[in-house]
Amino acid sequence: MSMIEVTNLRKSFGALEVLRDVSFRVEKGDVVAVIGSSGSGKSTLLRCLIGLEEVTGGSIRIDGQDLCRDGVYASAAARKAIILRMGMVFQHFNLYPHLSVVKNLEIAPRLVKGRKGPDLRAQAMELLGFTVTDNAAQADLIIGAAALDDQALAAVQAGTPYIATGSDPLGYITENLVTDLAYTTLGMEALHTVSYPADSLITASYAADEDYVMYTYSCGVLTSVPADATVLIQAIDEDSFIAGCCLNEDGTPIDGFVEAIALERNGMDLTIFANSVNNRAHQQDDYRYVTNAIYAKMLSDQPLDLDAVSVSFVDVPDSHWAADGIAYAVDNGLMTGTSSTAFSPAASTTRGMLMTVLARQAGVDTSTGSTWYEAGMNWAVDEGISDGSNPNGSITRQELAVMLYRSAGAQPGTADLSGYADGDSVASWAADAVRWAVDEGILSGKSGNRLDPAGTASRAEVAVMLQRAFA
């Protein structure tokens, strides 16, 4: 008896016949691939097998039971019993973005099979590679307990990592584990600018994406932090508040307050988040931070060695003309990807981006300021590299050459630009810099023997010219 038996299956959408007399068998243990061009009916066939489409004719038999015979379906109850034994992974995963990963895993068995209770949550966690246990002595880490019982306390004191979130466990922690830690709630809902280390597995993805804006609900903060703690998340010192509501009555700003720390003391390994993840409608950042902390503790307790990291991007294959330059810019901390997997080499570069990049090249800490580009812009203005105007505007190739020229402290170039088809279109204020860039092999012509001085400089072009100028 075959696991799946299809005989003379037909499916039409009006006058369009998609499947015509399809017949095959799948035996237990078989792996079968259906191959065909887009629109040839592959997905329609699978949807018919699992009952998402009704056939026009033919028969489908699943494990000896007729789903339909000669185009006539079994009873609703029989169909449901057969279909509930099957599953389908869709081409597009169709996850619900407003639900956590665990909730996405729970929803199908809950709605389709009517399952519920703690066993469902435990199964979902196990699918993610976690085993939930009430026995603290067997746990790899302990998360968010309001108060530790004797068994859990012994485990934490023996070195089991403890990740605490929000006010519930903080009351216990400040009284029993870290007495030089203090906590309060500012009572606001706020978007605000934060800073964090780039060498922590907990925050490295945020730093790589240059995402320095955090949302917090109720706004718990650490008001006194132990000297031996590592600050993971901290509101910037000045003008961190971007938008929000429910400001605290005494007008206390969020500026400078710490929101998460890591602490190793007396054999304990503690990661403490001042904000709670209980408000599931809002706390996406908190969930991500805590998830990162969990995986960090499961993977390693060592800081991330940025010098040992070689970043690869899906849109920069080894064959890309700018691959070496992009690798140089990323490996040296001058540029980051537009996401953890993409560099966007063809995207334009803004003046603020370039000022920030050149500041990093000079060894300036660009993580401070009310905007992501403020520190780099201030440095560029102070050094006479830029006037700081229009930081969000795209930079041209000749403007790029000028800022590189000034940053390098170079002498005017002598290259003859007349050999280029558009050499006479170089602006007079940029001519010395462009000649220098051509002399040094930093700026080269494009197709048609053009310098394209007024053209927008792409991220790939910036990376390559950085490598040529400073490597």
CA-wise closest residue to 357 among 206, 459, 444, 213: 459
Tell me whether strands 65-69 and 57-62 are parallel, antiparallel or unpaired.
antiparallel
As a whole number of angstroms, the distance between CA 434 and CA 404 comes to: 10
How far is 214 from 188, CA to CA, in rounded Å? 13
165 token code pair: 């979130």
> How far apart are the C-alpha atoms of 237 and 409, rounded to whole Å?
33
d(CA 229, CA 239): 25
User: Contact at 8 Å (CB) between 338 and 355?
Assistant: no
- Give the separation between CA 135 and CA 118, rounded to whole angstroms: 16
Q: Which amino acid is at 437?
A: A
Q: What are phi and psi of 467, to 5 degrees?
A: -60, -45
List the alpha helices (DSSP H) in 305-428: 323-331, 351-361, 374-382, 397-408
pLDDT at res. 11: 94
The DSSP code sequence of 52-106 is SS--SEEEEEETTEEEEETTEEPPHHHHHHHHTT-----SS----TTS-HHHHHH
Reading across the β-sheet that carries 57-62, which strands appear in turn? 16-26, 4-13, 57-62, 65-69, 72-73
* H/E segment holding residue 157: helix 150-157
- What is the DSSP track for 367-390? S-SSSTTHHHHHHHHHTTS-----
- pTM comes to 0.48
Query: Cα(459)–Cα(437) distance, rounded to whole angstroms?
Result: 17
Interatomic CA distance for residues 80 and 90, integer angstroms: 20
In terms of Cβ atoms closer than 10 Å to its own Cβ (0-12, 13-18, 19+), residue 213 is: middle
**Residue 448 carries which side chain, given as an amino acid letter?**
G
State whether the Cα torsion 195-326-358-395 is positive or negative: negative
460 with 440: CB under 8 angstroms?
A: no
One-letter amino acid identity for 190? A
Q: How far is CA 378 from the centre of its chain?
A: 29
Digits of tens for pLDDT over the chain (471 positions)?
789 999 999 999 988 899 999 999 999 889 999 988 878 889 899 999 998 899 999 999 999 999 999 999 999 999 988 988 888 877 666 777 777 777 888 887 887 777 777 778 778 877 777 777 778 888 888 887 788 888 888 989 888 999 988 878 888 898 889 999 998 888 777 788 888 887 788 888 777 778 888 887 778 889 999 999 999 999 898 888 888 775 666 777 888 999 899 999 888 999 998 886 654 444 566 677 787 888 778 765 455 454 544 557 888 888 899 999 999 998 888 998 887 678 889 989 999 999 999 999 999 988 888 888 899 999 999 999 999 999 989 999 999 999 999 999 999 999 999 999 999 999 999 999 999 999 999 998 888 899 999 999 999 999 999 999 998
Q: Where in the chain is the domain with CATH 3.40.50.300?
A: 4-83
- Residue that has been written with the tokens 């072009």 in this structure: 461
Specify which residues 194 forms β-bridges with: 235
Cβ pair 336, 205 in contact under 8 A:
no
d(Cα 260, Cα 158) in Å, to the nearest integer?
Answer: 22
Topology (CATH level 3) of domain 136-299: Rossmann fold (3.40.50)
Does residue 261 contact residue 202 with C-beta atoms inside 8 Å? Answer: no
d(CA 402, CA 386): 9
User: What is the structure's pLDDT at 249?
Assistant: 66
CATH of domain 4-83: 3.40.50.300
Rounded to a whole number of angstroms, the distance between the first and last alpha carbons of the chain is 68
Query: Which amino acid is residue 399, in one-letter code?
Result: E
Specify the pairing of strand 162-165 against strand 268-273.
Answer: parallel
DSSP-derived 3-state class of residue 212 = coil
pLDDT of residue 36: 85
Beta bridge partners of 348: 458
pLDDT given at position 168: 82
Determine the Cα–Cα distance for residues 145 and 119; give it in Å rounded to an integer: 20
Q: What is the DSSP letter of 258?
A: E
Ranges for all domains in the chain classified under CATH 3.40.50.880: 136-299
DSSP 321: T
Can you say whether residue 94 is alpha, beta or left, with left for phi > 0 and alpha for psi between -120 and 50 degrees?
left
